Amino acid sequence: MHDVIVVGGGPAGSKAATLMAKDLDILVLEEHLSSGSPMQCAGLVSDDVVRMSGVRPDVLNRIFAAEVHFPGGGTVAVRSKNALASLVDRKGLDMRMASKATDAGAEISYGDKYLGHSVSGGVVTVSTSQSKYSSKLLVGADGHGSAVAASLGDNAPKEYLRGIQVDVKDKPEHDDTMTLRLGSDLAPGFFTWEIPFGDCVRVGLCTSEDGVLPSDLLKTLLRRAGLQDKETVARYSGKVPLGGRRVTYGDNVLLIGDAAGQVKPISAGGLFPAFRSAPILADTAIEAIRTGNTSRKDLARYEGGWKKELGREFFRGYRIRRSFVKLSDADLDRICAVLGREDARNILDDIEVDRPGNVANRIMRNPCIAMRLLPTLLKAII
């Protein structure tokens, strides 16, 4: 019998497995034949995220500036002395993190799909496409469509975004600058991105689940960016769970990463919250197995722990998101006019990709800016 079975050999599963493997016997189940495929990520992360991954992914580009294009043609530019983010090879990151987990002592079973589990007498019996396994704990790190999360009852995230992106051959003039676009014709409910790297640009968008097809929006975006005739060398799509899940633990079960709904609501970044939660999950699991206390009640401290670290940012971020989706294109243009002011630009230049809510907070605490934004924001909040 294993101490812990981790379902999912993505970044959240590999990070948790690496941290637990120093004390526990870990089996990771990954349904695909390798980690990192298919890729469902832009790969844009902060230096903190790279450090927390515990591996050295290939860095495809460093981004120092962002231009945000508003629906009416207005633009707000942000530039930082330090890199705002790095574009990393996400497939390579996942593969290196999985190798690190095996180096730490975890076993990974590839091509092995979790089908379901039962708990009896403190023992978890897991059925997979290849075999049956038993363990004392089960960790669901099986991504946005988590079957382990679903086993905990009514546990869907508040909403899903749908994402799509392509890599096209192009060499933009400013290769350290990414472009973001807002507007109902491009990305209703979210935003688009164009991130240069090498002789390519990664062009993508996320949008609310219940609207125009992302592939149709992508065509409009490529036309708007003047990239419609460029050669497409890669295409990716995926879903992002937003707003959190009802519960992230159960009898002998813990959830992490997208499976736990741990995604930043403003940027849809999932790596930072997964890596912040992993040490808390590992501590909880190691203690639960040491003491033999693996019931739902005993595991509740995991949710308390990760929410203490991330809950405030998630709650604030999701509140901002709920307001954001109510804004019309004209409202966004009014906000653009205010953010173009020098006092707002100075605050925006300090943006941290892992904590975008902090900048929103600082903007709203500046009375001159807040007064100008108030009518538009009140409309969105009420």
Ligand X SMILES: Cc1cc2nc3c(=O)[nH]c(=O)nc-3n(C[C@H](O)[C@H](O)[C@H](O)COP(=O)(O)OP(=O)(O)OC[C@H]3O[C@@H](n4cnc5c(N)ncnc54)[C@H](O)[C@@H]3O)c2cc1C
**Which residues of this protein are in contact with ligand X, per CB under 6 A?**
7-13, 29-32, 35, 40-45, 113-114, 141-143, 147, 163, 165, 204, 206, 238-240, 257-259, 263, 268-271, 274
Residue in the shown chain whose Cβ atom is closest to ligand X: 270
CB of 342 to ligand X, least distance (A): 30
Residue with smaller CB distance to ligand X, 166 or 377: 166
Q: Least distance (Å) from ligand X to the CB of residue 271?
A: 4
Q: Are strands 2-7 and 26-30 parallel, antiparallel or unpaired?
A: parallel
Burial class (CB in 10 A: 0-12, 13-18, 19+), 380: middle
For ligand X, give the closer residue by CB, 196 or 238.
238
**Closest distance to ligand X from the beta carbon of 309 (Å):** 16
* Virtual torsion, Cα 44, 50, 55, 59, nearest 10 deg: 50
> What would the DSSP string read from start to end of 187-221?
-TTS-EEEEEETTEEEEEEEEETTSS-HHHHHHHH
Give residue 198's Cα distance to chain centre: 24
- What would the two tokens of residue 211 be? 């609207």
Is there a contact between 188 and 201 (Cβ–Cβ < 8 Å)?
A: no
Continuous segment of H or E residues that includes residue 128: strand 123-128
| CB 120 to ligand X: min, Å | 21
Task: Kindly tell me which of 114 and 324 has the beta carbon lying closer to ligand X.
Answer: 114
Nearer to ligand X, 218 or 360 (CB): 218
Please state the separation of Cα 159 from the chain's center in Å: 14
Q: How far is the CB of 125 from ligand X (least distance, A)?
A: 15
Q: How many helices (H) does the chain have, and how many strands (E)?
A: 11, 18
CB of 153 to ligand X, least distance (A): 18
Q: Which is nearer to ligand X, 317 or 333 (CB)?
A: 317
Between 44 and 227, whose beta carbon lies closer to ligand X?
Answer: 44
